[in-house]
Amino acid sequence: MFAESVRTYSKRLLSPFRGLVQIAEAGDARALTLDGRHWAIQCARAGRARLHGPSPDADPDQRFALVATVEEGELKTRALHPFLDPHAVEAAVEGLFATVASARVPFAATDCYEYWLLDAADGAPLALLDARAGDEEALPPPRPSWIAMPAAQLEVQAPEADPTHYVPPVNYRLQKLVEARAGPKPQARWFHRAAPAGFPPCLIREDWASEEAQQLCGRYLDRLAPRLLMLHGLPRAERQRLERAARKHVFDVERFYTLYPEVVDEKLITAARVEAQLRRTAGAGAS
């Protein structure tokens, strides 16, 4: 019988920012999802562990073992690691499955301690590097270096129209711009905040001195918009701007919309989801 109380919360995946992971946690077991539909249930091999993996299915510290998945409401168990107690795992899986089957996502965000790279010119927050809940503050912070999502994972159309000349991906170029703006001796600091005022809403400053830098930053954030819409506390005007940008990336909207804490233009988001379904149906019919 599953007697553990389940704690539900969400946190941002950094660095780079890839979205929000939803977490249902009970004792040494947890269920994680990036889209609200596909869950990974994990159990700790030994002792208490914290979330560090780059994805719900991977844990580079090898402290958690994947014991089950929930795919579109269907529970699928996995072969157990030999160090795990099968009775404890069965109870944990049963309890977490019952939780996520009836869960309403997105869960509340708890990572209100933020570690920001600072602008060398004015010392203001430049780009978000890490975000944690209070009980994680003792962990060492990351290096003061901002990382963009790789072009292989997030393709951003370059502003240059000539395909015969190679230019580095927008992602990499923006990363180098942030690096230059942070200065030769980059500094970062923790902030504890409950409101977004005074911090870049899209987790990176958008006021750039040159038109080229402004354009690169804008293109990157526009492509990231379907994931940025998962953020809690976005100003309404900012959310509306991101929804318009996300409309061009219908499959990402379809994947992540369940985790949007708010939608300003329901018709716009619904149109994107319908288009994704129609394009997928048309593609299946042509194959």
Q: Give residue-wise pLDDT tens across range 171-211.
A: 999 999 999 999 999 999 999 887 667 899 999 999 999 99
Q: What is the structure's pLDDT at 64? A: 87
- Amino acid letter, 28: D
Q: What is the structure's pLDDT at 83? A: 76
Q: What is the structure's pLDDT at 245? A: 98
Mean pLDDT, residues 132-145: 77
Q: What is the structure's pLDDT at 247? A: 97
Say if residue 98's pLDDT is above 70. Answer: yes
**Of 163, 177, 167, nearest to 216 (Cα)?**
177
Q: What is the structure's pLDDT at 4? A: 67
DSSP label of 68: E
Confidence of residue 283 (pLDDT cuts 50, 70, 90): confident
Half-sphere exposure in the Cβ direction for 153 (13 Å, CA):
11
Distances (CA, A) of 7 to 30, 168, 283: 9, 43, 41
What percent of the chain lies above the pLDDT cut of 90?
68
DSSP label of 240: H
Are the C-beta atoms of residues 113 and 137 closer than 8 Å to each other? Answer: yes
Query: How many residues in the chain?
Result: 287
d(CA 172, CA 189): 24
DSSP-assigned states of every residue in 2-40: --PPPEEEEEEETTTT-EEEEEEEETTEEEEESSSSEEE
Q: What is the structure's pLDDT at 196? A: 64
